[in-house]
Amino acid sequence: MSTASTTAYVLRGVRPYGTDPVDVVLADGVIAAIGAAGTVDVPEGATELAAGDGPGLVLLPGLVDLHTHLREPGREDAETVFSGTRAAAAGGFTAVHAMANTTPTQDTAGVVEQVYRLGQEAGWVDVHPVGAVTVGLGGEKLAELGAMADSAARVRVFSDDGKCVHDPVLMRRALEYVKAFDGVVAQHAQEPRLTEGAQMNEGVVSAQIGLTGWPAVAEESIIARDVLLAEHVGSRLHVCHLSTAGSVEIIRWAKGRGIDVTAEVTPHHLVLTDDLARDYDPVFKVNPPLRTAKDVEAVREGLADGTIDIVATDHAPHPVEDKDCEWSSAAFGMTGLETALSVVQQTMVDTGRMTWADVARVLSENPSRIGRITQSQGRPVAVGEPANLTLVDPDAIRAIDGRTQVTASDNTPFAGMELPGRVVATFLRGRATVLDGTVVDGTVIDDKNLEGATR
Ligand SMILES: [Zn+2]
């Protein structure tokens, strides 16, 4: 598969984690050398990437997404494993966890292995399928968690994402079951009765524009219940896309008590608010909904102080007919793989709240730890480590346009906005998947998959 992995690269004057400039040599799939300019041996024929003028490009461990919807099998009109992982590479990712709400559902060893193999064939990033907690996401019967864990896909993250595991007995059983193989249940916290017919955040804006509200307590009550269940059974819980100030407080309390819980926030919840619903543009319709400025401030604070462990994209591509319609009938969700790093830079780095080392922690190290893939991903930028790397130009400014993104769907909430930062290169085990800000097509890809690359 990785026929081109023997190519060597020398990255001139790059700044690991934003520190002082060094030269970094990639060869044979690993980081072969790091040192001051002129002090490292450069293999003959190595491709040179120079930083150019300015303070220099930032070198980070390859990004890892714990929450991606690749839509295949079943909704290949929205995204495929090929197009979604190609978009991931463009966004600086070297691994993604593919959510289970496909058709058929990723609730058996057979389906998770299918997605895993599609990821290997595409070759853009490592694809780690998430297993469903319940059969068909039906919320009634536990899926074959053990069989998925033992499969070739080696599933460690289980989630009914899109739906909440709302039955407390089932949730308890799932938490107990995954302990056997060091798995984690990733909960989409949404109390179903409190959110019947809900269209957006419940608050001032929903009252003014007349859309059914989705109260913060519908998220917080499930999180509160689940951290207590996790404590009770001594298991590991991960909370997907938390979005309210109250949720941050509950996680902070639970961690203070020693409960083994981790939490994620999406890029969009770090910056967008429910004010954007005023024009009824469904591109801003998402689950959980965009909240208030106070919530945005709370999730930023939670991310900065470590209460929230990771940023996960919740990349949720939809075809135009599912988004370009009335708000009430539009699908929930937004794309995110190609803008996540820029949003984190804008909201956390450029505001002085986080360093680039912190970015590596929340977008690479912690997600790989939660997903139990630390043998291959989220590794330090150090000699001998696998060359899974992202090279970023933090001084670039990009105008975002959904139609020119790599993902097969157009539903980016950042369309028409300018965001800082640009992924210049991405390396997967030393092979460039992105160079000069452009995905590198045709190096290792099967012909049948190349057809899927065109939109
Ligand atoms: Zn979700």
Supply 130's token pair.
């998430």
Beta strands in 271-417 (DSSP E): 310-311, 389-399
In degrees to the nearest 10, what's the CA dihedral of 235, 240, 244, 250? 10
CB 16 within 8 A of CB 24: yes
Q: What tens digit of pLDDT does each residue of 129-177 get?
A: 999 999 999 999 999 999 999 999 999 999 999 999 999 999 999 999 9
According to DSSP, the β-strands at 58-61 and 9-16 are parallel
Residue 152 neighbours by CB under 8 Å, 6+ apart: 113, 116, 117
User: Is 70 one of the annotated binding-site residues?
Assistant: yes
> What span, in angstroms and rounded, lies between the C-alpha atoms of 356 and 57?
11
Give distance in angstroms: CA of 248 to centre of ligand 1: 17
Q: Name beta bridge partners: 375.
A: none
352 CA from centroid of ligand 1 (Å): 29
Q: At what angle do helices 245-256 and 293-304 cross, to 10 degrees?
A: 30
Strand 237-239 to 184-187 pairing = parallel
Question: In terms of DSSP bridges, do strands 30-35 and 47-50 run parallel, antiparallel, or are they unpaired?
Answer: unpaired
Tell me how far the alpha carbon of residue 439 lies from the centroid of ligand 1, in angstroms.
28
Distance between CA atoms of residues 283 and 399, nearest Å: 17
Q: 105 C-alpha to center of ligand 1: Å? A: 15
Instruction: Using only the alpha carbons of the chain, give its radius of gyration.
Output: 21
What pTM was estimated for this model as a whole? 0.95
Q: 4 CA distance to ligand 1 centroid (A)? A: 37
Contact 400, 414 (CB under 8 A): yes
Task: List pLDDT tens digits, range 199-232.
Answer: 999 999 999 999 999 999 999 999 999 999 999 9
Q: Which residues, chain by chain, have CB under 5 Å from ion ligand 1?
A: 161, 188
188 assigned ligand-binding residue: yes
State the distance from the centre of ligand 1 to the C-alpha of 89, rounded, in angstroms. 22
**Model pLDDT, residue 3:** 44
Two tokens, residue 334: 């937004």
Phi, psi of 48 (to 5 degrees): -95, 135
Domains of the chain: 62-370 (3.20.20.140)
Separation of CA 48 and ligand 1 centre (Å): 41
Distance from C-alpha of 337 to C-alpha of 328, rounded to nearest angstrom: 25
> What is the C-alpha to C-alpha distance for residues 329 and 234, in angstroms, rounded to an integer?
41
- What distance in Å separates the CA atoms of residue 438 and residue 164, rounded to the nearest whole number? 37
13 assigned to a ligand binding site: no
Q: Is 69 annotated as a binding residue?
A: yes
H/E segment holding residue 10: strand 9-16
The answer to whether the beta carbons of residues 10 and 24 sit under 8 Å apart is yes
Q: Is 166 annotated as a binding residue?
A: no
Residue 161 is labelled as binding a ligand: yes
d(CA 168, ligand 1 centre) in Å: 18
Note whether 313 and 353 are within 8 A (CB): no
110 φ/ψ angles, rounded to the nearest 5 degrees: -60, -45
Residue with tokens 């590991």: 236
Among 409, 406, 420, 443, CA closest to 85: 406
449 carries a ligand binding annotation: no
Q: Which of 97, 92, 101 is nearest to 65 (CA)?
A: 97
Catalytic residues: 314
Known binding residue 332? Answer is yes
How much helix, strand and coil, in percent to the nearest 5, is found in the chain?
A: 35, 20, 45
pLDDT per residue rounded down to tens, the chain (455 residues): 444 445 899 999 999 999 999 999 999 999 999 999 889 988 989 999 876 666 789 999 999 999 999 999 999 999 999 999 999 999 999 999 999 999 999 999 999 999 999 999 999 999 999 999 999 999 999 999 999 999 999 999 999 999 999 999 999 999 999 999 999 999 999 999 999 999 999 999 999 999 999 999 999 999 999 999 999 999 999 999 999 999 999 999 999 999 999 999 999 999 999 999 999 999 999 999 999 999 999 999 999 999 999 999 999 999 999 999 999 999 999 999 999 999 999 999 999 999 999 999 999 999 999 999 999 999 999 999 999 999 999 999 999 999 999 999 999 999 999 999 999 999 999 999 999 999 999 754 433 333 333 32
Residue 193 buriedness (CB in 10 A; 0-12 / 13-18 / 19+): exposed
Looking at residue 448, its pLDDT comes to 35
Q: Under the phi-then-psi rule, with left for phi > 0, alpha for psi from -120 to 50, and beta for the rest, what region is 157? A: beta
